[in-house]
Structure 1
Amino acid sequence: MTGDGIASGARLGPAERAANFDRLGAETFDVLIIGGGVVGAGAALDAVTRGLSVALVEARDLASGTSSRSSKLFHGGLRYLEMFEFGLVREALAERELMLTKICPHLAKPVSFLYPLSKPGIERPYVASGLIMYDTMGGARSVPRHKHLTRAGALRLVPALRRDALVGGIQYYDGQVDDARHTLSVARTAAAYGAVIRTSTQVVGFLKESDRVAGVRVRDVETGAETEVKARVVINATGVWTDELQRLSGGRGRFKVRASKGVHLVVPRDRIASESGIILKTEKSVLFVIPWKSHWIIGTTDTDWHLDLAHPAATKADIDYILDHVNKVLAVPITHEDIEGVYAGLRPLLAGESDQSSKLSREHAVARVAPGLIAIAGGKYTTYRVMGADAVDAAGEDLPGRINPSCTAEVPLVGALGYQALVNQADRLAATHGVHPYRIRHLLDRYGSEIHELLAPANGPDGDRSLLQPIPGAPDYLQVEARYAVTHEGALHVEDVLARRTRISIEYAHRGTESARRVAEIMAAVLGWSAAQIDDEVAAYQARVDAERRSQTEPDDDAADKVRLQAPEVRGRIASPVA
């Protein structure tokens, strides 16, 4: 057992990876899930905790798509009230409460936002009526209720705002999370309860028995090895790849998924003087200024994307759009030189009648598209647990007997149990491990009660104390975190560590290039890389960063996509369509 009471099966290291490939080919699973984003991981956890045998395969890395490129919020969706989607807001607020209090309190934290009021008169009661509903629907349980502020009060909270940009404000709260770490934790928790979780494992075909889907054929994109995976029901949880997987299965889908690109900028915390996040209404959607450790995340855009699904590219026009809108209210404008990180992600929206992606519903849909094949798409990050449960409910039609009801509302994620007690013991832990108390608290908010396992390689008579040194170029992260990413968290490439296990790729102006070699060396000690493989990994990461930087100077999607795709695919054997 690990320190938090969850079985040590949560470990996703090289040995587990090898064993899991053998299991994929040898066992018949009740449920096979395609897609390692938060919905797929959520479905895996839901199914395995109902007592079903479960496997999940992902062509790239856990959270490598949409689930690492969100606004990093657990939120009710204040703007959905204007669309009269009250059920979605109520559901999302209930999920947010679960995340903050029970499921992952080590990862999810309350975050304050100021809604600046720009018009005297009707705007305040209009916005307040929405926030009263927000609080009443469940938004004010573990966070404070909304609060009205005068212009002077709003400026004390957010001194960065131009005085003439507001007549007052309203402060409210939502939840924040590191999306990639959270998705990883959901997947590892599923593994702890017995699910087979395997990344770099691409679905290349479907197995059929008469008119029924009976499993898939997968390829290990690291080695090229292939095997057949038999399952009583397959769940397609591939987000923006839903339609491509549907075509690969040879059937017709019940709904279409539309990719909407969302771009975010990351700037240093000292560029915006504020004690709170900010939410701004734009002509198309809303724009968030979100506190993120020593940074701000500013976004997002909401535009259709019809190009490469794996590597959506931000353009100069996207960046200018965000800067133009945020600078309308800031006393000291943000410039291109202030930007340390940029990331673009794709939302899998259910295609509807509206031509504007910002008006497409964030509701999700589940369909039994063929005997033995379920598809789920749409939705929003916050409601992943509900989506996973709905997918498994639908899968029940293809499973013998009656399946147990979902219990994930009562299942804390790996690292959650004992977290608060460890926070209270931070000073003692710091003395035990020889790490500053500030650093211990930072690690607790990333790993929770797994902190002992994280720091173990640096402790004891044979411990390597150098692992407690920061990663070069990234003082917020310790070298032991890069090692843990490989031994426990399934990282196979430098990109996996710099972009998802840590957020070095967006939090530092060098975007990870100054950290790549040391991270590669740490990974090599676990994965057995040669000097040439280390060089290849560093070069591939450098090429990714260079391509992203150049794409962000291009004027439109087509030009940016061409530039971004000049970087080699680090998982070289991957093919389209992908899971």
Structure 2
Amino acid sequence: MAHPTLSPAARDHALAEFADGPELDVLVVGGGITGAGIALDAVTRGLRTGIVEAQDWAGGTSQWSSKLVHGGLRYLQQLDFKLVSEALRERELLLDFLAPHLVKPVPFLYPLTHRFWERPYVTAGIGLYDALAHIGAKVATLPYQRHYGFKGVQRVFPDVKPGSMVGAVKYWDGQVDDARLVVTIVRTAVRYGALAANRTRAVAFPKDESGRVVGATVQDLETGEERTVRARTVIAATGVWTEQTQDLAHAEGGLKVLASKGIHIIVPRERIRGESGLILQTEKSVLFIIPWARYWVIGTTDTPYHQDLVNPVATAEDIDYVIDHANVVLDRPLTREDVIGTYAGLRPLLQPGTKKGGGDAQSTKISREHTVTEVAPGLITIAGGKLTTYRVMAEDAVDLALGEERARAVPSVTDRTPLLGAEGYLALSRQAASLGARYDWNEERVQHLLGRYGSAITEITELVEDRPDLGRPLEGAPAYLRAEVVHACTHEGALHLEDLYDTRTRLTWERARHGLDAVEEIADLAAEALGWDARRRAAEVEAYRARCQAEDAAAAAPDETTAAAARAAAPDVLDLVRPSGG
């Protein structure tokens, strides 16, 4: 089966089909990890499926996570074995079969601060964590725990501060480029026939005479044009926008979600000497120090949030909080000068009870982490959950849409459906040396590409075969090839310069100065791939530069209100590039 593209032409086709094609069985509103998973689940059950997202794919919460696929050690403390077991099963599926190119093992040290009683306690907890992961598993994807005294910790993590711990237990979890996972799931859904359009907002839910929701009115935010999409069932997976989405249908019942902000800072890899990550307990949340190839991701916070939901930002207070708590265990303390990037995201925290009433037992499915409910006839809402269990959440949502009898007749197959790039990945990874020699790429380069595209690396090599200059690194961001920018535009649905910086690469926060050293070269490549004229190219660059300036001002702001005002000073890219009258 040919690899699907999320090109501008494919987006236009999807929008046309929404308006003029046959009725959809399922329309998914929300293109984060949950919505993407629902679209894949629905289309692989044979349902005619569409998905729309008001921002870019993964444009809300899903691109700003801690980028971990894990079972949740904290739930063991609450004796929630079922939830942990479920999450660990999903972790193993992703590591071993569904997305081994995207989800990779990552080691963590769990510090011990008491000499006698703590080690047996932690050993039992992490031992149970490991055991739950391996029960029923065909392969042991991750190693079992290992124990260290302080000298052993120093060998694994030389920059550990003396006196900060007496030893540690090493355990393993998974890490993932969250935005890349979402884009890959959407592309996989399109591969099986789903219609997908980003930058497309649901603005109303029309109803029939009986009051049943029969689809959605969607607005193409690129042009301002509205279309009516007919669908038997609409499933809303809009995270922190859950209540606003429900209000479009004037639903009597509904889920209530509060936003909690979490921020992360980025530090160059060479700044901290260590081969393993660290997990630290704080008074507010868990703090991870997570190793990546070229940097460390450190976070997160957990604070109530009441500002603009679209553009949360890290404040000076947030950044200092993370630095201070990381420095508790670092022998060479971090300073603000060490931070090359930050990002902030909003967790949709599902609140107990309902907004105005709620569904009955037949129209609601509740787990410890997420809830799916029919808030109005024909409109299903899902909220809560986490990235690791997106597939389970999607299955629950589609099951509810189908009803018990039909769900049993056409059960979910996503546990047996590898994501785009997974098939053939292991074989190609063993041919990395010959692949690199063919294009004059070193091993690090080939592994970078395989870790982003898996077996779909052939899409990159085909571009380079046609245009050898695309095989060169970006001058201002040499971790990425020029071909990756073009590919993001032609295959992955990028429509704007910020899409290339945020979700197709990680340049907005993994390079100093938001990756602006590469902005002119990236803009040239995008302009050619997307057909921008000189005015449009200049507007895209202006919008991105203004955003970077606003985020820097926010990072210097002392509080949330001031930071939000600083970020709001930057215009939205659509306001600068949308055609007049759109």
- The answer to whether TM tops 0.5 is yes
Aligned-partner Cα distance in 2 for 1:362–1:507? 34
Q: Which segment is superposed worse, 141-150 or 119-128?
A: 119-128
Aligned-partner Cα distance in 1 for 2:543–2:485? 18
Q: Which residue of 1 aligns with 2:398?
A: 392
Q: Which segment is superposed worse, 322-331 or 134-143?
A: 134-143
Query: Alpha-carbon deviations, 1:126-174, whole Å to 9, x = none?
Result: 2122101101111683101111111111111111111111111100000
Query: Alpha-carbon deviations, 1:152-208, whole Å to 9, x = none?
Result: 111111111111111111000000100000110001000000000110111111110
Report how far residue 252 of structure 1 moved.
Answer: 3.1
Report how far residue 573 of structure 1 moved.
Answer: 9.5
Q: Which residue of 1 aligns with 2:123?
A: 128
Q: Does 1:552 align with 2:555?
A: yes
TM-score, normalised on structure 1? 0.94
Cα distance change, pair 85–413 in 1 and its aligned pair in 2 (3 A):
same
8 Å Cα contact 2:540-2:577 kept in structure 1:
no
Cα distance change, pair 260–148 in 1 and its aligned pair in 2 (3 A):
same
Q: Which residue of 1 aligns with 2:179?
A: 180
- The 5 A counterparts of 1:349-498 are 349-352=349-352, 363-397=369-403, 404-459=410-465, 463-498=466-501
Q: Which segment is superposed worse, 119-128 or 42-51?
A: 119-128
Aligned-partner Cα distance in 1 for 2:19–2:404? 21
Cα distance change, pair 288–103 in 1 and its aligned pair in 2 (3 A):
same
Q: In structure 2, what residue type is equivalent to 1:167?
A: V
Q: Does 1:213 align with 2:213?
A: yes
Aligned-partner Cα distance in 2 for 1:291–1:326? 13
Q: In structure 1, what residue type is equivalent to 2:304?
A: D
Report how far residue 86 of structure 1 moved.
Answer: 2.1
Q: In structure 1, what residue type is equivalent to 2:205?
A: F
Q: Which residue of 1 aligns with 2:190?
A: 191
Report how far residue 435 of structure 1 moved.
Answer: 2.6
Q: Which residue of 2 aligns with 1:4?
A: none
Cα distance change, pair 402–162 in 1 and its aligned pair in 2 (3 A):
closer
Report how far residue 437 of structure 1 moved.
Answer: 3.2
> RMSD of the alignment, in Å?
1.8
Cα distance change, pair 306–328 in 1 and its aligned pair in 2 (3 A):
same
Task: Select 1:77's aligned residue among 68, 72, 79.
Answer: 72
Segments of 5+ residues of structure 2 without an aligned counterpart are 354-366
Segments of 5+ residues of structure 1 without an aligned counterpart are 2-6, 354-360
Q: Which residue of 1 aligns with 2:360?
A: none
Q: Which residue of 1 aligns with 2:46?
A: 51
- The 5 A counterparts of 1:237-248 are 237-248=237-248
Q: In structure 2, what residue type is equivalent to 1:379?
A: G
Q: Which residue of 1 aligns with 2:573?
A: 570
Q: Percent identity?
A: 51
Report how far residue 402 of structure 1 moved.
Answer: 6.7
Aligned-partner Cα distance in 2 for 1:401–1:58? 26
Q: Which residue of 1 aligns with 2:525?
A: 522
Query: Alpha-carbon deviations, 1:27-65, whole Å to 9, x = none?
Result: 310000000000000000000001100000001100011
DSSP-derived class of the 2:214 partner: strand
DSSP-derived class of the 2:487 partner: helix
Cα distance change, pair 57–283 in 1 and its aligned pair in 2 (3 A):
same
Task: Select 2:84's aligned residue among 78, 85, 89.
Answer: 89
Q: In structure 2, what residue type is equivalent to 1:569?
A: D
Task: Select 1:19's aligned residue among 13, 22, 27.
Answer: 13
TM-score, normalised on structure 2? 0.93
Q: Which segment is superposed worse, 416-425 or 447-456?
A: 447-456
Report how far residue 18 of structure 1 moved.
Answer: 1.4
DSSP-derived class of the 1:207 partner: coil
Query: Alpha-carbon deviations, 1:514-551, whole Å to 9, x = none?
Result: 22221111111121111111110001001111111110
Query: Alpha-carbon deviations, 1:423-454, whole Å to 9, x = none?
Result: 11111112223333331121011001111111
8 Å Cα contact 1:106-1:447 kept in structure 2:
yes
Report how far residue 340 of structure 1 moved.
Answer: 0.6
Aligned-partner Cα distance in 2 for 1:162–1:305? 33
Aligned-partner Cα distance in 2 for 1:516–1:434? 25
Aligned-partner Cα distance in 1 for 2:23–2:252? 25
DSSP-derived class of the 1:91 partner: helix
Query: Alpha-carbon deviations, 1:201-248, whole Å to 9, x = none?
Result: 111111101210000001110011111000000001001110110111
Aligned-partner Cα distance in 2 for 1:224–1:472? 36
Query: Alpha-carbon deviations, 1:283-340, whole Å to 9, x = none?
Result: 1221100011110000000111111111111111111111111101111001100001
Q: Which segment is superposed worse, 96-105 or 72-81?
A: 72-81
Query: Alpha-carbon deviations, 1:256-302, whole Å to 9, x = none?
Result: 11111000000001111101000111112211000111100000001
8 Å Cα contact 1:342-1:506 kept in structure 2:
yes
